[in-house]
Amino acid sequence: MKILVIAAHPDDEVLGVGGTISKSVKKGDEVYVSIISEGVSAQYEDKERFLKLRRDACLNSARLLGVKEVFFHDFPDAKLENIPKPEIIKIIEEDIKKVNPQRIYTHHGSDLHKDHQIVFETTLVAARRIPEIFCYEILGTTNKKPNSERFKPNTYVDISKEIEKKLRAIGFYETETKEFPCPISLEAIKTLAKYRGVESRLNAAEAFVCVRRIEK
């Protein structure tokens, strides 16, 4: 199976799907990652330096998890709402055409972060012919949007054997990871995996909302 993970920023792919990526690769699937925004210009004045750091982190984590290829698009961080949606849809459609995936993972619509919301919305349009679409969660922003349909998982992936690799993968993102109780901390990530594991009677899990799954 070919799988495409679509993420707003470098690190979202590991936070939301890192264990599942590793597990899918072990099963023989080809996994590709599409990063829509550069993820640094809204946070750091020295954009070029941090852009390289974050891109290197993304490539290192992808290598560890077994990702076949990463597509970087470098739309401005925290400003996707200022980009016409057809432009974003077009580049996602181009990645879909390159990969020809049977399954896509992307953000959930209940996410407070506007970039995450927009990637969710544009992915649904671009992936309208893809048989399987699943939404992942980002601890700290998913389910924070007021008056939205909340993230209610209906699919769980056992990552009991992948959780340590997921933690090593996020560890490459040294500019983003903080000390607990920050959501992007090793302890918080592991706690969420255990919580989702308890929900599904597993030692550790990643949770998803299945938007569509078509069997032929």
Q: What is the pLDDT of residues 49-73, one digit of tens each?
A: 878 999 999 999 999 999 999 999 9
The per-residue pLDDT of the chain, averaged, comes to 94
- What the chain holds in terms of domains, given with CATH numbers, is 2-154+207-213 (3.40.50.10320)
pLDDT category, 146, cuts 50, 70, 90? confident
Q: What is the pLDDT of residues 69-113, one digit of tens each?
A: 999 999 999 899 999 999 999 999 999 999 999 999 999 999 999
Across the beta sheet with 69-75, what order do the strands follow? Answer: 69-75, 30-37, 2-7, 103-107, 132-136, 205-213, 155-158
pLDDT category, 45, cuts 50, 70, 90? low
Q: What distance in Å separates the CA atoms of residue 38 and residue 35, rounded to the nearest whole number?
A: 8
Tokens of 94: 């181009």
| Polymer length of the chain | 216
Radius of gyration of the chain (CA): 16
| pLDDT value for 164 | 98
Q: In the predicted model, what is the mean pLDDT of residues 182-194?
A: 96
103-107 vs 132-136, strand pairing mode? parallel
| pLDDT value for 48 | 78
Phi, psi of 4 (to 5 degrees): -120, 125
Share of the chain above pLDDT 70, in %: 98
Phi, psi of 151 (to 5 degrees): -70, 110
pLDDT category, 46, cuts 50, 70, 90? low
Residue 95 DSSP one-character state: H
Residue 119 DSSP one-character state: H
